[in-house]
């Protein structure tokens, strides 16, 4: 299929008399036309980087998306922006299929530019590209049964059979690097198209995981308070009935050190608090590429905080080569998603390698409220004391920092800590007692 894309890009280049590039909707390069000009201005840093690294930066993506290309149904002209590294204006041909954008064809703009008839002919070729991209995405969605079987199979021959079936279905692509994405909770239909995905399925959450998604997420989204009723003794979050499901996405990677394709796929599956209006943005109104990227990040984070009940979060596991390790990678991705929900600063998309102590805490099966030392503190009656203890321990036991973070007087902090010691019977001057309390507080946050 790669050759088909290249032939179609060459056809557009010939029609318009200018080298074209084709990227998917995550701005990953698929094919590009020959650049044989002696003019040094025929390229700029953005196009050079796209060809050499086969992807664009988040800042460049935000800059171009600000001109409504994701919603456009016809060519979009984008002016040059030297401050963003875009030394040449662009013509973007959206690649769509049945109303859904699957990618973009890019041409460097020049005066007087192609005439309407040439652009119309190029758009017809772009529509043929859209059919191919849609078919490729659909092939990934159609593997949901084989993919789900790998994630849910036990060890031994059952897993071996499931892995073999998925490998055979994916063909040569199964030999490469992949990352697993978990988006949870997932209540809708399986998406028909996820950019960069080799396979997509809905997978059941285990009992310990299901409870984390059935509450109200992270309270007010500030990350300061433990989830409402953390633990709650018998009948708390650890005892909630199993249920619910997550969306699993298997994403192709080019390098174990670059998880951007997986993070991009996860971000697109999370609720968004709005975005470009779809109208063409006048030249100079989109701001710098850097500010556009910051705005996009802030918007995505705000969306997660206001996504409703229950909240939705995403996690990315460590890259794997060979599908035998997918169940372990799924556990990692699920743990990272739970951590992103429990601790908003880790999200909206959390990578397993970056969630710190939650890597270990996610593996704990016992409800921390069942520990006799922490049961009273983690009851719904003492949220303020639990929060005080957590902040104090997060600040490495430094009273001044903890009091400032809590916005209270240091003497008030000391009084609350004495109450914590009375409730728990723990000595906060002892390292092992601090460790037990800190683990219990973080585990309670993780479990929701």
Q: Please check whether residues 252 and 313 belong to one and the same domain.
A: yes
- Asked if 443 and 344 sit in the same domain, the reply is no
In a domain, 420, yes or no: yes
Cα distances (angstroms) measured from residue 259 to each of 265, 296, 316: 10, 18, 8
Residue 19 burial class via C-beta count within 10 angstroms: exposed 0-12, middle 13-18, buried 19 and up: buried
Length of the chain counted residue by residue: 448
Residue 383 is assigned to a structural domain of this protein = yes
Which range has highest mean pLDDT (41-50, 303-312, 317-326)?
317-326
Q: What is the mean pLDDT of residues 396-418?
A: 94
| Domain annotation covers residue 335 | yes
Domain range for 385 is 368-447
Residue 169 falls inside a structural domain: yes
Are 71 and 176 contained in the same domain? no
CATH code at position 439: 1.10.10.2840
Residue 409 has pLDDT above 90, yes or no: yes
Share of the chain above pLDDT 70, in %: 72
∠ CA 181-186-191, rounded to 5°: 70
| Last-in-domain residue among 303, 338, 361 | 361
Is the same domain home to 379 and 397? yes
Cα–Cα–Cα angle for 251, 253, 256, rounded to 5 degrees:
125
pLDDT for residue 309 is more than 50: no
Query: At 223, is the pLDDT very low, low, confident or very high (cuts 50, 70, 90)?
Result: very low
Per-residue pLDDT reduced to its tens digit, 140-170: 557 888 899 999 887 788 888 888 888 888 8
User: How sure is the predictor about 367, in pLDDT bands with cuts at 50, 70 and 90?
Assistant: low
Tokens of 330: 């799924």
Both 302 and 430 in one domain: the answer is no
- Structure tokens that stand for 119 in this block: 């652009």
Q: Are residues 311 and 376 in the same domain?
A: no
b/e per residue, 169-181, with b = 16+ CB within 10 A?
bbeeebeeebbbb
Say yes or no: 396 and 418 in one domain: yes
Beta bridge partners of 200: 249
For the cut 60, the answer to whether the pLDDT of residue 41 exceeds it is: no
Rg (CA), the chain: 25
* Residue at 377 is within a domain: yes
The mean per-residue pLDDT over the stretch 308-324 comes to: 80
Angle 33-36-41 (CA atoms, 0-180°, nearest 5)?
100
Position 211 in a domain: no
Residue 219 lies in a domain: no
Q: Which residue has the higher pLDDT, 130 or 155?
A: 130
277 within some domain: no
Q: Which among 86, 114, 139 is the end of a domain?
A: 139
User: How does the average pLDDT of the chain come out, rounded?
Assistant: 76
Same domain, 53 and 176: no
Examine the pLDDT at 87 and tell me if it is beyond 90: no
Do both 340 and 380 map to the same domain? no
Query: Same domain for 55 and 126?
Result: yes
- The count of domains in the chain is 3
Lowest mean pLDDT of 109-113, 276-280, 335-339, name the range.
Answer: 276-280
Spatial separation of the C-alpha atoms in residues 264 and 297, rounded to whole Å: 12
- The pLDDT of 46-59, averaged and rounded, is 63
Using the 3D structure, point to which of 139, 163, 179 is the last residue of a domain. 139
Question: Residue 36: pLDDT above 60?
Answer: no
pLDDT tens digits, one per residue of 250-302: 998 888 788 888 998 898 888 754 333 222 222 222 233 333 333 333 333 33
Same domain? For 188 and 99 the reply is no
Q: What is the CATH number of the domain that holds 114?
A: 3.30.450.40
Q: Higher-confidence residue: 136 or 204?
A: 204
Pair (314, 191) in one structural domain = yes
**Residue 34: its pLDDT value, please?**
66
What is the rounded CA–CA span in Å between residue 261 and residue 195? Answer: 8
Tracing tokens 């019977």 back to the chain, one arrives at: 425
pLDDT band at residue 226 using 50, 70 and 90 as cut-offs: very low
As a whole number of angstroms, the distance between CA 350 and CA 222 comes to: 17
């Amino acid at each position: 299929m790669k050759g088909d894309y290249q032939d179609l890009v060459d056809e557009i280049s010939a029609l318009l008399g200018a080298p074209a590039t084709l990227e998917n909707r995550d701005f990953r390069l698929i094919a590009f036309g020959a650049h044989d000009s002696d003019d040094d201005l025929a390229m700029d840093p953005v196009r050079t980087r796209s060809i050499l690294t086969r992807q664009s930066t988040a800042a460049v993506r935000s800059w171009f998306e600000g001109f409504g290309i994701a919603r456009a149904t016809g060519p979009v002209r984008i002016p040059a922006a030297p401050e963003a590294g875009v030394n040449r204006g662009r013509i973007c041909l959206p690649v769509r299929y049945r109303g859904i954008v699957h990618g973009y064809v890019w041409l460097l703009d020049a005066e007087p530019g192609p005439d309407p008839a040439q652009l119309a002919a190029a758009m017809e070729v772009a529509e043929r590209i859209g059919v191919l991209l849609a078919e490729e995405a659909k092939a990934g969605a159609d593997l949901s049964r084989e993919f789900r079987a790998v994630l849910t199979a036990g060890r031994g021959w059952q897993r071996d059979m499931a892995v073999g079936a998925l490998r055979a279905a994916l063909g040569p692509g199964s030999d490469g690097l992949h990352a697993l994405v978990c988006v949870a909770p997932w209540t809708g239909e399986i998406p028909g198209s996820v950019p960069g995905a080799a396979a997509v399925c809905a997978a059941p959450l285990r009992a310990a995981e299901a409870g984390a998604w059935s509450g109200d997420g992270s309270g007010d989204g500030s990350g300061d308070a433990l989830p409402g009723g953390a633990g709650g003794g018998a009948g708390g979050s650890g005892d909630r009935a199993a249920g619910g499901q997550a969306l699993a996405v298997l994403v192709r990677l080019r390098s174990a050190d670059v998880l951007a394709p997986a993070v991009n796929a996860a971000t697109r599956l999370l609720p968004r608090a709005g975005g470009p209006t779809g109208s063409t943005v006048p030249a100079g109104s989109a701001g710098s590429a850097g500010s556009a990227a910051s705005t996009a990040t802030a918007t995505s984070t705000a969306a997660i905080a206001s996504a409703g009940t229950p909240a939705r979060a995403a996690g990315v596991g460590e890259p794997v080569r060979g599908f035998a390790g997918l169940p372990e990678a799924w556990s990692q991705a699920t743990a990272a998603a739970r951590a992103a929900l429990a601790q908003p600063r880790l999200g909206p998309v959390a990578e397993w390698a970056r969630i710190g102590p939650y890597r270990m805490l996610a593996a704990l099966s016992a409800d921390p409220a069942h520990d006799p030392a922490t049961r009273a503190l983690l009851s719904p009656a003492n949220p303020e004391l639990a929060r005080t203890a957590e902040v104090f321990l997060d600040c490495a036991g430094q009273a001044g920092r903890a009091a400032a973070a809590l916005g209270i007087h240091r003497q008030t902090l000391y009084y609350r800590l004495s109450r914590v010691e009375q409730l728990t019977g723990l000595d906060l001057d002892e390292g092992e007692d601090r460790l037990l309390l800190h683990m219990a507080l973080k585990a309670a946050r993780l479990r929701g």
